[in-house]
Amino acid sequence: MSRAELRAARERETAAATETALTAAAEAAKAEAVEAAVAAEAAREAEAARAAEAARAAAAALETQGIPVTPMPDQIAPRRAPGPVDRPPEPIVYRPVSSAYVGELAPPLPEPTGRNVPARIALVLIPLAALGGASVVLWWAQAAPTVAGVVALVSLTLAVAAFFLAIGGLVVAVQRPTKKTASIVALVLALLLVAWLGVMTVTQALAIVS
């Protein structure tokens, strides 16, 4: 027999011996695991038997003292079905709304009117200021110079307010489909009235001072 054959035979013997040793170790570990499981089961059974014996002894002692013993149920009784109050709230689900419905819910915007309110107020204030200035020239300047100065100042204030209202009316007339005639007329009359009443007020003030 050659050396290679001898070496191969030795290797086969070594492998067979190793496999045999591993098999034996596995069988021994399996046997130990089975023995440990059996011992644990026996210990649990013994513990359960001791607990049952202690329970029977306690029940017997209670019965000896005249206390009735009610057997405890093995399981907890199921809860009753939850009522409508105990139930969790329903999840919120997004429901899209059509744009037409949203437009119906939104309050309608006020439609722009064709009336020019600032220009109309200015046309009302201009005659009042003119009447005040005329009364100063025709009556108060000779009768009571002090009262004439106060009336002239009030008339000038009304004229200035009419001037600014006329400017606002002109702005409104540009932004809306409104006629600009009233605003332009009010602006021109208010400007002339402011100039006239300004000169009159200064004259009356100088007259009062002198």
> pLDDT tens digit string along 20-41?
888 888 888 888 888 888 888 8
Residue 79 is assigned to a structural domain of this protein: no
- Domain of 173, in residue numbers: 117-209
> Dihedral of CA 33/38/44/50: which sign?
negative
d(CA 1, CA 9): 11
Residue 145 is assigned to a structural domain of this protein: yes
Taking alpha carbons only, the member of 128, 116, 130 closest to residue 192 is: 130
Range with top average pLDDT, 64-73, 177-186, 190-199 = 190-199
Q: Where a domain ends, among 71, 102, 126?
A: 71
Domains in the chain: how many in total? 2
Residue 76 is assigned to a structural domain of this protein: no
Verify that 65 and 133 share a domain, yes or no: no
Verify that 126 and 188 share a domain, yes or no: yes
Residue 155 is assigned to a structural domain of this protein: yes
Verify that 57 and 137 share a domain, yes or no: no
- 198 pLDDT above the threshold of 80: yes
What Cα–Cα distance (Å) separates residue 158 from each residue in 58, 119, 130, 162?
109, 14, 9, 6
> pLDDT tens digit string along 76-134?
555 565 555 556 667 777 676 655 545 555 555 555 555 788 888 998 999 999 998 88
Verify that 129 and 198 share a domain, yes or no: yes
Q: Tokens 């489909």 map to which residue? A: 177
Q: Which residue has the higher pLDDT, 8 or 191?
A: 191
Element (H, E) at 146: helix 145-175
Residue 143 is assigned to a structural domain of this protein: yes
Verify that 60 and 124 share a domain, yes or no: no
Given this model, what pLDDT does residue 72 score? 56
> pLDDT tens digit string along 1-25?
567 777 777 788 888 888 888 888 8
Residue 105 is assigned to a structural domain of this protein: no
Residue 86 is assigned to a structural domain of this protein: no
DSSP 55-119: HHHHHHHHHHTT---PPPPSSPPPPPPP-TTTSPPPPP------HHHHHHHSPPPPPPPS--HHH
